Amino acid sequence: MRNFERINVAMDYLRANWWRLFGARIGAKARIGPRCECPLPGNVTIGERSVLEATVVLKLVEPQARLVVGQNTFIGRGTIFDVANEVLVGADVLIAPGCFVTDHDHGIDADATIWQQACASSTVTIGAGAWLGAKVIVLAGVTIGDGAVVAAGAVVTRDVDAMTIVAGVPARQIGVRQGRQGLK
């Protein structure tokens, strides 16, 4: 590893320690990249050896909002978590750059402007060993099963079974992972 790479890794560890000072529960050797944002770090748990690349936004919009990220999970640069209630991300998950995950949606009643309406919230769960390709969108109430793969650019509007491969807008099953099925 070159010296500047070592310095960048050391800075990532320092940023994780900084977030800990503000109440974030962050496991050993977890890394927080530059320009990551989190307005409520006390409501965030990040497992050991997990990585948030640069410019990841953990946008917790309500005081009770909670984000839990399992160990050995990688979250690519520019990914946004928009959380009003709860988002749970399992261990060994790969989230490519530019993804958007939200657990809530605005009402659409015609008697009020959109910004005046209450949000409806429902937990999002991303199972262990799942892979979200670049620029995937995951909407409120969705559960993505263990080992599932979501193709780049997909919009996930309903649950995805374990070991299933989905693609498209809205995401639809295009295959099933086969071979060694065991997850650690």
Is residue 116 domain-resident? yes
CATH number of the domain that residue 108 is part of: 2.160.10.10
Q: Alpha-carbon distance 158 to 63, whole Å?
A: 27
Q: Look at residue 64 and tell me if it is in a domain.
A: yes
Cα–Cα dist 74/51, whole Å: 5
Which parts of the chain register pLDDT below 70? 1, 180-184
Based on the structure, what is the number of domains in the chain?
1
Q: Which residues are catalytic?
A: 106
**pLDDT reported for residue 116:** 86
Give the domain range for residue 79: 3-176
- What is the reported pTM? 0.92
